[in-house]
Amino acid sequence: MCGIVGYIGKNNALPILMDGLKRLEYRGYDSAGVAVKTDQGVFAVKAVGKIVELEKKITPLTPPLSGGSNLGIAHTRWATHGAPSEVNAHPHCDCQRKIWLAHNGIIENYQELKALLIKKGHKFVSETDTEVVAHLLEDLYDGNLTNTLIKALRLLKGAYGLVIFHAAEPTKLLAAKCGSPLVIGLTEDGTIVASDVSAIIRYTKQVIYLDDNEVAEISGHDFKIYNLQSETVAKQAKTIDWDIEASEKAGFPHFMLKEIFDQPNSLANSLRGRIILSDGKVKLGGLDIVAEKVRAIEKLVIAACGTARHAGLIGEYMIEEYAGLSTEVDYASEFRYRQPVLDKKTALLVISQSGETADTLAAVQEAKGKGLLTLGIVNVVGSSIARATDAGVYNHIGPEISVASTKAFTSQAAILALLTVMLGRQRQMSLVMGERICRELLALPEKMREILKTSEQIKKIAEKYSKFAHFAYLGRKYNQPLAFEGALKLKEISYLHAEGFASGEMKHGPIAMIDGNFPVVMIAPQDSVYEKNYSNMQELKARGAKIIAITTAGNEKIKEAADDVIYIPKTLEMLTPILAAMPLQLFAYHLAALSGRDVDKPRNLAKSVTVE
């Protein structure tokens, strides 16, 4: 997830672009850049780090900027392809430095296109997928940037929000959308295009939301919208009723809720371009260089902390059941103290959203010291763990701002499912099984949208239970790690006592605590262990427990044992935790928000734990 902004109009573009970048900084902040058309040509500048670093490099009162500019684009980056560096920062341009563009999304077929364009003599300077679009436009340019863009877009695969200008057509700013958001703000004096309304709302509340496969051709305050068949599309402006603060959160009261609701998109981004359905295979580009070593390993050790470790525990079940590879999960903070028995046929896989968690990094160093292959599932490109591991897979979910991890968790579990298919297909998994898992993975975003519709129902359940001080979370098999995750979510943002247990463990001690004041959240989809979970629920009911059950849509019978029921759509058993996580996140969120907690920044916690 990156932030893009473009302006064309009567006012000076630069201050509007810089202000827009600051408002979009929450979407990504590893590097930034701006390009404006001036009387003396295009002025472009880029910097690594936050927007303030870019600002330091701009002197608005000296030429060429002193003459002002009525056209420009800017970008704040969240790296996906290529490390955070000046050369990889946007805007990118063609060989002649005339066509400039900023991009949010991932161009899936950039390698094929790049190879083709290099053969034709184009010179690439960055490692990004984005630069290919600038050279493609240069290659196809027919004197009209709008027509050329429509032709180029027909050749692109993947997701994009693009803002583009050509120095030879300075009365035109173009925007194009497919998969990544873009909104156009209409003011008296000009037009602003941005990734979201937070960059626009200071100037206007009149906006037009671009839909997928639409191109906007903007000149001052006139605009035309085309589809990819070059037909014009009529669009109505909408009036935003949010204030500036709410706009960064897309109207949500907290980043956590926004991130929970972002999951259908973030999960789709994690899967994008990685599934070859017809072959029942996955393509994890970051693991290409170690594919043969991965084929040879006989054991996998997963090390991670907190939520990332819970995802790892789900991965353990997936990999052992479907890939037949012995897997164990460690607390990263314990990995080097317990003297694990490791040999060269073992690989270490670490999972970390931030890529900076000190304990996880220490586990990587320990494993490297022992000569092990080290792999990572990391969200932040270029982070310490991404650099320290031999190879890895990025989540591609954009920044996670709320301390409580939500969209990273579902993405981590989904990537572990992809890894399961990769490991499985290298071993004994059939094409049919590989294809089945992949197909079910691709269906998850839509199913997540269904779950989000239950948010208000979950809020009412949270209200009902808001006076209780203790909660138990139970799950079995794939959903046992989810019991830990559900409890962690509740405790970290509500400060209530919550504990996760394997359902079968209750009768070995914890059930002694249970009475009418200790509600139980039971994760019980209709899977291979449902009957056992149902018996556990009855045992708890007999002890006066109040039960909130999460189960598969259509399961009416569970109402005989549960006080409250939240339904999730059916999916493959190994993928149920990805869906069941969402009601748990929503329950924790609503309960904490109702109690007036500082949901996004809970006390005593930090987003990135860089001390051991």
Residues in contact with ligand M6R by CB under 6 A are 305-308, 352-354, 357, 360, 403-405, 488, 492, 608-609
Looking at the DSSP assignment, which residues form a beta bridge with residue 92?
101
**Residues 421, 437 contacting (CB under 8 angstroms):** yes
By annotation, the residues acting in catalysis are 2, 607
DSSP SS3 for 604: coil
In one-letter notation, the amino acid at residue 257 is L
Q: Cβ–Cβ contacts within 10 Å for residue 509, how many?
A: 9
What CA–CA distance (Å, rounded) separates 260 from 262? 5
Nearest CB to ligand M6R, comparing residues 326 and 608: 608
**Smallest gap from residue 493 Cβ to ligand M6R (A):** 8
**Smallest gap from residue 584 Cβ to ligand M6R (A):** 11
**Smallest gap from residue 264 Cβ to ligand M6R (A):** 20
What CA–CA distance (Å, rounded) separates 509 from 18? 59
CA distances from 490 to 258, 466, 515, 592 (A): 17, 12, 20, 8
**Smallest gap from residue 260 Cβ to ligand M6R (A):** 12
Please provide residue 330's backbone torsions phi and psi, each rounded to the nearest 5 degrees: -120, 155
CA distances from 509 to 250, 512, 561, 583 (A): 45, 6, 22, 27
**DSSP per-residue string spanning 407-419:** HHHHHHHHHHHHH
Instruction: Give 179-222 as a 3 state SS string.
Output: ECCCEEEECCCEEEEECCHHHCCCCCCEEEECCCCEEEEEECCE
The token duo for 16 is 């509007």
Please provide residue 542's backbone torsions phi and psi, each rounded to the nearest 5 degrees: -60, -20
**Smallest gap from residue 304 Cβ to ligand M6R (A):** 6
Nearest CB to ligand M6R, comparing residues 157 and 368: 368
Nearest CB to ligand M6R, comparing residues 346 and 379: 379
The token duo for 522 is 């039971």
**Smallest gap from residue 108 Cβ to ligand M6R (A):** 26
CA distances from 123 to 95, 97, 107, 111, 115 (A): 6, 11, 18, 14, 11
**Residues 342, 369 contacting (CB under 8 angstroms):** no
Nearest CB to ligand M6R, comparing residues 134 and 404: 404
What CA–CA distance (Å, rounded) separates 592 from 12? 44
Q: For residue 4, give the nearest of 238, 228, 162, 217 by alpha carbon.
A: 162
Residue for token pair 């003011």 = 187
Q: Cβ–Cβ contacts within 10 Å for residue 537, how many?
A: 22
Nearest CB to ligand M6R, comparing residues 353 and 552: 353
**Smallest gap from residue 121 Cβ to ligand M6R (A):** 43
**Smallest gap from residue 351 Cβ to ligand M6R (A):** 7
**Smallest gap from residue 106 Cβ to ligand M6R (A):** 21
Nearest CB to ligand M6R, comparing residues 378 and 547: 378
Q: Cβ–Cβ contacts within 10 Å for residue 289, how many?
A: 10
DSSP SS3 for 148: helix
What CA–CA distance (Å, rounded) separates 341 from 349? 15
Helix, strand, coil abundance in the chain, percent, nearest 5:
40, 25, 35
Residue 570, C-beta contacts closer than 8 angstroms, at least 6 positions apart: 525, 526, 552, 553
Q: Which residue has the closest beta carbon to ligand M6R?
A: 306
Nearest CB to ligand M6R, comparing residues 414 and 488: 488
Phi-psi region of 49 (alpha: psi -120 to 50; beta: other; left: phi over 0): left
**Smallest gap from residue 360 Cβ to ligand M6R (A):** 5
What CA–CA distance (Å, rounded) separates 170 from 70? 9
Nearest CB to ligand M6R, comparing residues 352 and 571: 352
**Smallest gap from residue 404 Cβ to ligand M6R (A):** 4
Nearest CB to ligand M6R, comparing residues 306 and 475: 306
- Pairing outcome for strands 31-38 and 71-77: antiparallel
**Residues 406, 585 contacting (CB under 8 angstroms):** yes
